Amino acid sequence: MEEFRKFMDELPIVLKIILALPFLDGIVYGIYRICKGTTAGIVLGVLWIFLGASFLWILDIVFIALGKPVFEL
């Protein structure tokens, strides 16, 4: 799981933004958050799979564009 997080962190910013678009964001960044392994990360990841695909993807794009890591607890 750590390899997936490292792979995602090393992607170019343009590809990260593409993966943060609606529907892709819920799956890709939901799994990214679940891979963190903490209880908060797992809960947020599961919620993100459903809510991230609908409207929370905007938060990920803003955080990525500002050069910060995606929103996590």
pLDDT for res 42: 94
pLDDT string in tens for the chain (73-residue length): 899 999 999 999 999 999 999 989 999 999 999 998 899 999 999 999 999 888 899 999 999 999 998 888 7
What DSSP string runs through 1-70? -HHHHHHHHTS-HHHHHHHTSTTHHHHHHHHHHHTT-SHHHHHHHHHHHHHIIIIIHHHHHHHHHTTPPP
pLDDT for res 72: 82
**CA-based nearest residue to 59, from 25, 31, 11:** 25
pLDDT for res 71: 83
pLDDT for res 39: 93
pLDDT for res 69: 87
